[in-house]
């Protein structure tokens, strides 16, 4: 039997898909229902207003959105924070500026790593024997 401590409350529980104990799962579902009911009544709300009105942390609301449990398609003011800088976004995990900075950093890292690799001369590849047979 796999046991673990609940990351939310610290109780010992039998591991499950949600990776939470049963009381925390029930609490999380109650928070979800509260958010959904508030959003049905107040479509123009933003994430801060939703958090203030329901007393549910922005982190949990963001989790509901990212899991696809709360749709922001019909909520024009609903945005959640970028995981890197905290700028409010409507899709993905990062804002455009963080995404472009990451791409640039990765491109630079690839360029820096490329000269470190020895260049292969023709005829030294894995298919050298096959290539010589064609000559």
Nearest to residue 31, comparing CAs of 11, 49, 52, 54? 54
pLDDT of 56-103, one tens digit each?
999 999 999 998 999 888 888 899 999 999 999 998 899 999 999 999
Contact between residue 48 and residue 61 where contact means Cβ atoms under 8 Å apart? no
Mean of the per-residue pLDDT values of the chain = 86
Average pLDDT over residues 122-131: 56
Residues in the chain: 135
Q: What are phi and psi of 115, to 5 degrees?
A: -65, -25
Beta bridge partners of 3: 14
What is the predicted pLDDT for the residue at 32?
96
Which residues neighbour 51 within 8 Å (Cβ) at sequence distance 6 or greater?
57, 58, 61
The answer to whether the predicted template modeling score (pTM) of the entire model surpasses 0.85 is no
Q: Taking 80 as the threshold, does the pLDDT of residue 16 lie above it?
A: yes
Over residues 25-43, the mean pLDDT reads: 94
């Amino acid at each position: 039997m796999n046991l673990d401590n609940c990351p939310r409350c610290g109780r010992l529980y039998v591991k499950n898909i949600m990776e939470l104990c049963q009381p925390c799962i029930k609490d999380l579902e109650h928070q979800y229902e509260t958010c959904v009911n508030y959003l049905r009544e107040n479509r123009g709300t933003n994430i801060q207003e939703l958090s203030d009105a329901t007393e549910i942390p922005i982190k949990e609301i963001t989790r509901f959105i990212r899991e696809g449990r709360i749709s922001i398609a019909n909520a024009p003011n609903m945005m959640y924070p970028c995981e890197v800088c905290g700028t409010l976004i409507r899709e993905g995990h990062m804002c455009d500026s963080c995404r472009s900075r990451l791409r640039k950093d990765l491109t630079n890292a690839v360029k820096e790593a490329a000269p470190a690799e020895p260049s292969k001369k023709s005829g030294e590849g894995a298919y050298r024997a096959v290539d010589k047979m064609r000559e």
